[in-house]
Structure 1
Amino acid sequence: MKNLLKTLVPVALAVAALCAGARDFPGSKTVTLVVPFTAGGPTDRVARDLAEAMRKPLGGAVVVVDNAAGAGGSIGANKVAKAPADGYTLLLHHIGMATMPTLVRNIPFKVESDFEYVGLVNDVPMTVIAKPALPANNYRELVSWVNANKGKINLGNAGVGSASHLCGMLFQQALGVEMTAVPYKGTAPAMTDLMGGQIDLMCDQTTNTTGQIEAKKVKAYAVTSPKRLTTPALKDLPTMQEVGAKDFSVSIFHGLYAPKGTPAPVLKKLNDALKVALKDPEFIKKQEGTGAVVVTDQRMEPAGHKAFVAAEIAKWSPVIKAAGVYVD
């Protein structure tokens, strides 16, 4: 009996301390939001907007962004997967959570079982864009130009496994035309070369392209959302489904994750704070200004978020396998 008590008392004390910590969360401690990409990119911008929007509903807590880039987003994700499960280290990741299981070789964690799903943040559609000198002025003319220039088209992307790379693969499938993929180290250099005419086409997030489209530095032909967008610079662009690519729908979603085992009361506080942030008029304004759509459906709940990512994994796995692209 004494040995049993010696075992149970420390456990009971640990549980009591954990419950007390969850009740007081986050208190005066800083919450770190890990972004698995470099500063200044689209996911980083979403993270910084979200950090500010969640500060008040978390009782005025300091929420800082930590950029941990590399290996297709798996370095930052692994950092969170291995962090203490106390709610103070979170992950903001995009569609990479659905592509990493297939794309990244020897991934050091399991997306579906090594994280707690807090909720989805937004959907970010893609845009099909081209260098300003491309002669096509609408999507129909673009298809004609592509068919007339088979074997000579350069399709830029932000790197192997990036959102623009994935979208580009689907775009080629939709047109039935193979193009020369030109990977860059990020969207910025790819966009610079597209505007300068060194590459012909690119398919990238509205968060990266809206400003360039508005300034007429690139030509835009279509969006990959299920319906047209309301952003002024994009509202006249047809969807890919409108122009005949019925199964072409790509959303570069962003979601919030915590380490597996984070206490349920802490997760509830995080989810409650997230839902308040998603209704913040300033946050919504910032997202809509770049063409992103703030989540309002069941995916803002942990269960809905997890089910959505599982469906996206099933969607992208065959596409990546068929393309034979991997990140070491």
Structure 2
Amino acid sequence: MRKILAAALGAAFLASPAFADYPERAITMVVPFSAGGPTDTVTRLVAESMSKELGQQIVVDNVGGAGGTLGAGRVAKAEPDGYTLLLHHIGMATSDTLYRKLAYKTLESFDYVGLVTDVPMVIVASPKFEPNDLKGLIDYVKANKDKVTYANAGIGAASHLCGMLFMSAINTPLTTVPYKGTGPALTDLMGGQVDFMCDQTTNTTNQIKEKKIKAYATTTAQPLAALPGVPTAGEAGLPDFTVGIWHGIYAPKGTPKPALDKLTAALQKALQDPNVVARFASLGTVPVTNEEATPAALEKKLKEEVARWKPVIQQAGQFAD
């Protein structure tokens, strides 16, 4: 019934000359994480620029909880009229395996606007933590695995995913300390309450530059200009350890194509905005190309990443109800 109603609504919009004026009111863009985190930062930068292009404000609504699935579920159930969007990261793909029950179908409940950015990650530690380089970190955690603590921002968070890959890469399980968001995890990391973590450059670059935390390596193939002197994991002794936290914008399934087309065009314009480009650069990332900021590219990326992460998560055996 929902699909029939969505199709009827889309047909009505297509037939209405008034739809040429879309959007005629504010648009809500849901971030499925708490305010102040890396995905929230990306969203607010992009939303502000897209608002200028669309001529209507995009209001950012933080709907955190359950590794991003609560916010995604809210958008999946929203009216497919172009006025409710979701900006989510790689967790959109991993939650398909991490969670035994979801209130939506990852590959069936959404339409696509486009990719936004692929944010690098960096392995960081408390200033009080003994190891000073990545090789020293690996040797230390292997020798002290029962007392070393790895912080993450909760199941499904970027830091959780990177941690699973790291433990798999060094074949050493560690004590993980989950937090309700990146902010409190970083606060305890800076204070020495936990030892180390791996998180997005959008949330760690400033703290690294201010020497509030120490950096061991980035998860990129090439060094980052925003973090001079920080080697890649491959350079530092952990070959093939690369992971990026990509972000995309979604709409409820059945959103009329004219709305999606306008949103994609506004996204592409926003990603060329000099202010957005400069702010992204200061955070260690870059906007995707116009070819990637499309519905087809995002759909392809999501399908590939669901397939990529499923065996990793199943091997780690870390699931949520």
How high is the TM-score relative to the length of structure 2?
A: 0.92
Contact 1:37–1:69 at 8 Å: present in 2 too? yes
**Contact 2:33/2:181 (<8 A) preserved:** no
Q: Give 1:98 shift.
A: 0.7
Alpha-carbon distance between aligned partners in 2 of 1:190 and 1:298, rounded to the nearest angstrom: 35
Which letter does structure 2 place at the counterpart of 1:20?
P
Pairwise CA distance, 1:165: 0.9
Could you report, residue by residue, the CA deviation over 1:127-161 in whole angstroms, capped at 9, with x for unpaired residues? Answer: 10111122322222223323332332111111122
Partner of 2:193: 198
Alignment partner of 1:221 is 2:216: yes
Say if 1:22 and 1:248 are closer, same or farther in 2 by CA, change over 3 A: farther
Q: Please tell me the root mean square deviation across aligned C-alpha atoms, in Å.
A: 1.9
**Deviation by residue 1:94-123 (Cα, 9 ceiling, x = unmatched):** 111111111122101112121111101111
Contact 2:36/2:183 (8 A) holds in 1: no
Counterpart of 2:103 in 1: which secondary structure? Answer: coil
Match of 1:238 among 231, 239, 250: 231
Q: Does 2:262 match 1:269?
A: yes
CA distance in 1: counterparts of 2:195 and 2:261, whole angstroms: 47
Q: Report the residue type matching 1:23 in the other structure.
A: A
Q: Deviations over 1:147-182 (max 9, x none)?
A: 332332111111122110110111111122221111
Count of residues in Structure 1 that have an aligned counterpart in Structure 2: 314
- DSSP 3-state at the match of 1:119: strand
Alignment of 1:56-71 (within 5 A): 56-58=52-54, 60-71=55-66
Q: Does 2:307 correspond to 1:327?
A: no
In structure 2, C-alpha distance between the alignment counterparts of 1:26 and 1:183, rounded to whole Å: 40
Asked if the contact 2:153–2:185 (Cα under 8 Å) also holds between the matched residues in 1, the reply is yes
Counterpart position of 2:26: 30
Q: Secondary structure at the match of 2:275?
A: helix
Q: How far 1:312 moved relative to its partner?
A: 0.9
Partner residue in 2 for 1:7: none
Equivalent-residue separation in structure 1 for 2:139 and 2:9 (angstroms): 71
* Cα separation, 1, equivalents of 2:238 and 2:136: 15
CA distance in 2, matches of 1:240, 1:69: 31
Kept in 2: contact 1:299–1:308 (CA 8 A): no
> Residue 139 and residue 297 in structure 1: after superposition, are their counterparts in 2 closer, same or farther (change >3 A)?
farther
* Cα distance, 1:18 vs structure 2: 4.8
Aligned to 1:8: none
Contact 2:135 2:237 in 1 (8 A): no
Q: Residue 163 of structure 2: SS of its match in structure 1? A: helix
Cα pair distance change 1:12/1:85, threshold 3 Å: closer
- What corresponds to 2:141 in structure 1? 146
After TM superposition, the structure 1 = structure 2 runs for residues 166-315 of structure 1, keeping only pairs within 5 Å, are: 166-231=161-226, 234-296=227-289, 298-315=291-308
Listed as ranges, the gaps of 5+ residues in structure 1 are 1-10
Report what 1:46 is aligned to.
42
Inter-CA distance 110–200: structure 2 relative to 1 (3 Å threshold): same
For structure 2, the residue ranges without an aligned partner over 5 or more in a row are 1-7
The code of the aligned residue for 1:122 comes to T
Instruction: Report the residue type matching 2:225 in the other structure.
Output: T
Give, in whole Å, the separation in 1 of the partners of 2:236 and 2:298. Answer: 30
TM-score by length of 1: 0.90
Identity value in percent: 53
8 Å contact kept, 2:217–2:233: yes
- Structure 2 counterpart SS, 1:279: coil
Q: Aligned runs of 1:62-211 on 2, under 5 Å? A: 62-211=57-206
